[in-house]
Structure 1
Amino acid sequence: MRLFRATAALSAVLALAACGVPVAGNAVPAGIQTVVTTAPSTPTVTVSPPPTQTVTAVAPPKSYVPAGSQWYAQSSWIYAQPWITITPGVNQTPCQWLRATGYTYPQAFAAWAQNGYPASWSATGDGYPCQKSYGMQH
């Protein structure tokens, strides 16, 4: 038990001395060696800036009003239109039939929407049907 108290006291003295706290007499008991350790220095890291880049401005492509913003593309108007039963002739597309039968482009658009927006009705795939029959409508 005595050895335990002596070890505890010595540990306390060494801990206080290591922290720079003056200990009475700063005496270290005989036969005890002190070890001083220092923390390694923190390395300095230098990061060079990224190389400069030249950016060439390119004019954005011409934008068209999407079909959804046209008055005839509004679902309330489309579904207020009577259903058009399309019966194209031989070698005739639904769009050609609609045009030949006298339907307007908004009516053809409504028929396209009512038939589930078939991709085959838009030759360019841009969201506007029957462009070959009615021309560009945007």
Structure 2
Amino acid sequence: MARIGILTCSNATQDLGCSSVSCLADFRKRQGTFAEYPQDEKLTLVGIINCPGCPTLTGPDKLLQRIRALTDFKVDTIHFTYCMKSLCPFLKMYKQALADNFPAIKIVLGTHTEHITPEEYRQRVKKLFCQPQKTMADVILDKD
């Protein structure tokens, strides 16, 4: 039985409203990277956590602290989401920190099936982040 944890991008989930719906759909259907598991093996989703955000000097330490929320419940595999795989400039650092501190845990890059090219995905996400956004200052100054 595979005990799986999923690590999501906090920018995608917190700022852009990703609910991990594609990751979870492919988990249930055994598609995307979940197709790599033998069909007769039961898959258990232990939990989903966010990365600690784009790191400061303590980024890897914060990640390890969060990962313990999964390792304490005996995950044997951690999937970095498609968002992490495609967008995260710190992916190698995070992956290395996990490998160094949890050598028995398998690390998989990706979750759901790619629907568009990684470059197109990055460009579309970049547009989401770069849209003008109203703030509380706009409300206070009656500019909304």
For the criterion TM > 0.5, the same-fold answer is no
Specify which structure has the bigger relative contact order, considering alpha-carbon pairs within 8 angstroms and separated by 6 or more residues. 2
- Higher percent of residues as helix: 2
Higher strand share: 2
Find the structure with the greater CA-based Rg: 1
* TM-score, with structure 1 as normaliser: 0.20
Give the structure-2-normalised TM-score. Answer: 0.20
